[in-house]
Structure 1
């Protein structure tokens, strides 16, 4: 039977709903961000509080000030649209696939990718970005490439991709899965649109101090089913995934009280034994009041499951808003904190919030190293 995932709940309709979901193992992580060219460099930079913000080479805002962005080094500034997304994703994908080795034969690998939603500066045809990323994956995987699915929904897309990968693995369609995310807000048309929408951060009297810094990045996770004692080493286990849908959107004029995010959080937390308390939170809050208010309401509703709802990591202050790339990069930071002994405990809640209404959450577990 083919795996089927509900787009709003993340429930695998092809799985046995009577049993608890089997954890997935994150074998490897790839990253390409404004603060690091690979996963380990990125995690170390965020831990050190390094900031990847810079003035745009030529874009200025309506106050006459250079727009501040978080740009990845090593990408041709002339690249835009699907070509830029593929160029951003390529290094992260190579890193994540490293444990599989080279060659045309090997395990069948499914690929689920989060992509930016339709907005000024993206391709007029949403399928163009999907096709560009699929071609990249086919080039890297060859005959090993299994099912491929793109989710052009922004911040929450990574959680949709994770739910899909979990369904493929449960259903036995693939031996391993790549969950990736890639986004870039740096196209001139996108930057102009962000300013027109009053979402571009700036400190001047004509700017919005509560906007966000546009960023770009890519991240990729290599996942397998979690087995018994012979399970391969890796970064972390994915215990739970939950999706939700918010109707009161940013800039709609309606007051958002976090109903959609609460759905996603509860659906993820319901898959975790209720006696376990979540130690850490990593999320995509980016400086906008809407997102802070949304989590304020949602965090209160699930506060009995969190060690401290007010203690969270929001790395947009290092690499800007990275949109659809959020999930794999946030998982990287959570797992790295456990490896280095900085985490407050083994369980981390991740969440993301799309402008289009999609909401996603996941719970991961990683052993916390004892610091000497």
Structure 2
């Protein structure tokens, strides 16, 4: 049996918060910070988006850049990674693989040499180099699950792995192409997605690592272990990834094949095999789905087939808009935050993600204490 993966730390930069605690607190309250961009739709009305407003101390004067420039993405990514690794000075980053999640290769307006530029920019900002086993996953929303899938194998040789995702739809070429395909939410299209941008990082490791790397914030930890001395010996509950499902959908958005949700259904069924019980044990769904009709229909069909459609649903896009490759890490980060803050409604939850190229992914997460 494959051991679960422990989610040890998080870091996030989004349009509703410049760190993980503020981001996930805003998402818990279903807040958003959508604002008008300089991009106009066919009626001359500005398109709204989830724009990250970086702090005044960030370099290169990128804090008011409304288009998803490379410098801004690097800045967001570095900030999320620094937060994730905060207060862990003993870590040797050169021995930690970086699994970087980025936009699909076919994304309109995708920046040239995106993977290489982001990795080089991050290493320069961090003044370090990650392990040689580092890799990039260019599958948009589903990239985070592909990275987790690779982490199961990498954990056999590396005790800790860093998964980070960054993406931005606020690129003029991307917005133009998506708007021409009637995919962007605007005054002339009420069924599109709200463009967004974000970065999120996850430090993951062997399940025993939860005993040594405690969360930076945890109400559960405080309630269960009131004394600091005990906290060093007896860890509280942690979030674990216990199963994954990855599938390919041939009926992609914009294609001619009918939307039957086969790919997402297959991915969900595979992931649910990791549960010791039945699908009814799932008490929460976290979805990266946008407000587009195609994905909403696909999501509803797949959930109905998997007998999980009656469980509560949290959607990232309500607060952040479409965040692409950052959505997977953000969904897991939200589960991590809600578990440690004590408002997670169930111990078992299901994350569901879909990319424009046809990849479909599902992840089973469980919050509790690890028992070998």
Partner SS state of residue 366, structure 1: strand
Tell me what 1:110 maps to. 97
CA contact (8 A) 2:160 2:206 kept: yes
Tell me what 2:13 maps to. 32
The 2-side partners of 1:141 and 1:274 are apart by 46
Mapping 1:227-246, distance limit 5 Å:
227=208, 230=211, 232-234=213-215, 235-246=238-249
1:100 corresponds to 2:100: no
Deviation at 1:92, TM superposition (A): 0.6
The 1-side partners of 2:317 and 2:205 are apart by 29
Mapping 1:9-158, distance limit 5 Å:
20-56=1-37, 58-74=38-54, 75-76=62-63, 77=65, 80-101=68-89, 105=92, 108-117=95-104, 118-124=106-112, 128-139=113-124, 140=126, 142=128, 145-158=131-144
Higher mean displacement: 318-327 or 161-170: 161-170
Tell me what 2:235 maps to. none
Q: Which of these residues, 179, 184, 207, is aligned with residue 168 of structure 2? A: 184
Tell me what 1:298 maps to. 302
The 2-side partners of 1:268 and 1:233 are apart by 27
- CA 83–228 in structure 1, closer or farther in 2 if over 3 Å, else same: closer
Mapping 1:186-265, distance limit 5 Å:
186-202=170-186, 204=187, 207-227=188-208, 230=211, 232-234=213-215, 235-265=238-268
- CA 69–79 in structure 1, closer or farther in 2 if over 3 Å, else same: closer
Tell me what 1:17 maps to. none
CA contact (8 A) 1:33 1:319 kept: yes
Deviation at 1:268, TM superposition (A): 1.3
Normalising by the residue count of structure 2, what TM-score does the alignment of the two structures yield? 0.84
The 1-side partners of 2:146 and 2:103 are apart by 13
Unaligned runs of 5+ in 2: 55-61, 216-237
1:326 corresponds to 2:327: yes
The 2-side partners of 1:131 and 1:70 are apart by 26
Unaligned runs of 5+ in 1: 1-19
Normalising by the residue count of structure 1, what TM-score does the alignment of the two structures yield? 0.84
1:357 corresponds to 2:342: no
Deviation at 1:86, TM superposition (A): 1.5
CA contact (8 A) 1:220 1:328 kept: yes
How well do the aligned residues superpose, as a CA RMSD in angstroms?
2.2
